[in-house]
Structure 1
Amino acid sequence: MDDVYSMLLEDIGVPMYRQEVPPSSISRYQGLLPDALLQLWAEHGWCGYGEGLFWMVNPQEYDSVTASWIQGSPLEKTDIYHVIARSAFGDLYLWGENSGPSLCIFSNVSRYTYDPAERSPKAMGRAFQSFLLSFDRDYLDFNELFSKTKEKLGILSPDEIYGFVPALQIGGAAKIEHVEKVKITEHLILLSQLGQLHQYTLSDI
């Protein structure tokens, strides 16, 4: 796991705003999230990486966001999901208790990707390592706006994301002139209410 974490730092960047994870949070998610993730929390905390491009987060703080996006969608009965990471622009990476790293919600465009395969408890550790290795700066950088936005607005605080105002779902433009720092929970719940969540299809690529 140390090698995988080192590769994460190499691909995305060093940590910032570290928050220690209390034992109560480790206990809360024991058996629900993979041991490898809980070990990472214990050793490295919840924090941002790469000057705030990518964040490992406290799932409990995102329960209302998860519910707002998933309730009433086809995903509601597929698994129980927990947000474990997010991007600077509000992309959400969720862990399914039975399916592992199976769901990503791209909040700015109300789209998601979904891998319905169930994984055995033994496979969850390997799946989490693969999850960490799947990220790089290009993948996380929405419309290649991160560096310019960071230079214009400054580095994000742990409770902020870069959001488009007006939102893309109601005709906003994915341009730096329309990006603001916004509070995570309020903005993501607002986005979830602006349009129905749809799965990415081949026609979207």
Structure 2
Amino acid sequence: MNEITGVDFSGIDLQDRSEPNHARPFDGILDVLGPMSFVEPVSATEAEQYRGRVPDGLLEFWHRHGRGAVLQGYAWLCDPALLQPIVEAVFADDPEFDAADFTCYLYEFDGRIEAWGRQNQHCQIDLTAFDYATVSVHGPGPLTHQRFGTVTPDYLVGNKLMSLARRLGQGMDEEYSDYHMFTSASNRLGRLEPGEIFGFFPSRQMGGEGYPEDMQKTRLVEHLLFHTQLDRATLRGWEPIPGGDGLSRPYPIRKLGPQPD
């Protein structure tokens, strides 16, 4: 039997509050996250195929560093083609959004996806959330940051990547935090391999309670495609929280997909 290799973050400052350089937001990301593993090189020719589909800074990052796992598998910079079947299933026959507009560039240990849209910009897809699958589209329109106001696409995505360590480190002592769920599953089951996530069995949308011990290794694409068959995802909007110092909260808008006449 192979020995299980868990995760160890003792050499990484998960509370690092670094902000990206505004002129070059992708510089220094790996100084915060640590080295990537399972690195797949990206040629200039391949990167150029995504010109205009994701921010230019991300293309440069791919070409310089490749794509792979950061934070020992907590998140994965991925080949967009891997998740295109998910995008097509999520936005199938929707009158407002076209799946071809969205390019997935990141997935997390539990199957959450970050995508970029040429028209609609920042998009988050969470098909395995409690109760129902959700999609948030933050565009079109100006891209904003709570502290810095309007920012560039490069800054928004660079900041998203740099903040992964901080997100992982939040609530380290809480039972259902990302840190607890990810480290618990990794130390019990071993580190994730490319194309794998930790999924809940049974699914949280089928009565599962979402306990750490319910997580099992599973194939990313197959697991998410299964969840697209449970129900159509709910499009969410975001509204300011009164007195929330610039924070927002989600609210449901409608189901994605074909709409009633």
TM-score normalised by length of structure 2? 0.68
In structure 2, what is the Cα distance between the partners aligned to 1:108 and 1:152?
Answer: 21
Aligned to 1:123: 152
Report how many aligned residue pairs link the two structures: 201
**Contact 2:30-2:36 within 8 A present in 1 as well:** no
In structure 1, what is the Cα distance between the partners aligned to 2:235 and 2:223?
Answer: 21
Q: Which runs of 5+ in 2 are unaligned?
A: 1-20, 144-150, 171-176, 238-248, 252-261
In structure 2, what is the Cα distance between the partners aligned to 1:9 and 1:90?
Answer: 25
Q: 1:134-189 CA deviation, whole Å, 9 max, x = no partner?
A: 433147x6483000100001000111111111111111121122111111111111
In structure 1, what is the Cα distance between the partners aligned to 2:204 and 2:95?
Answer: 23
Question: Mapping of 1:183-194 within 5 angstroms?
Answer: 183-194=219-230
Question: Mapping of 1:10-159 within 5 angstroms?
Answer: 10=32, 12-73=33-94, 76-77=97-98, 80-100=101-121, 102-109=122-129, 110-118=133-141, 123-135=152-164, 136=166, 137-138=168-169, 142=178, 144-159=180-195
**Contact 1:79-1:97 within 8 A present in 2 as well:** no
Question: In structure 2, do the counterparts of structure 1 residues 31 and 3 end up closer, same or farther at CA, with 3 Å as the change threshold?
Answer: closer
Question: Mapping of 1:161-172 within 5 angstroms?
Answer: 161-172=197-208
Higher relative helix content: 1
Question: In structure 2, do the counterparts of structure 1 residues 147 and 93 end up closer, same or farther at CA, with 3 Å as the change threshold?
Answer: same
SS of the residue 1:113 aligns to: strand
Q: Which runs of 5+ in 1 are unaligned?
A: none
Question: In structure 2, do the counterparts of structure 1 residues 51 and 134 end up closer, same or farther at CA, with 3 Å as the change threshold?
Answer: closer
Paired-residue identity, %? 21
In structure 1, what is the Cα distance between the partners aligned to 2:58 and 2:250?
Answer: 34
**Contact 1:80-1:97 within 8 A present in 2 as well:** yes
Higher-Rg member (1/2): 2
Question: In structure 2, do the counterparts of structure 1 residues 74 and 174 end up closer, same or farther at CA, with 3 Å as the change threshold?
Answer: farther
TM-score normalised by length of structure 1? 0.84
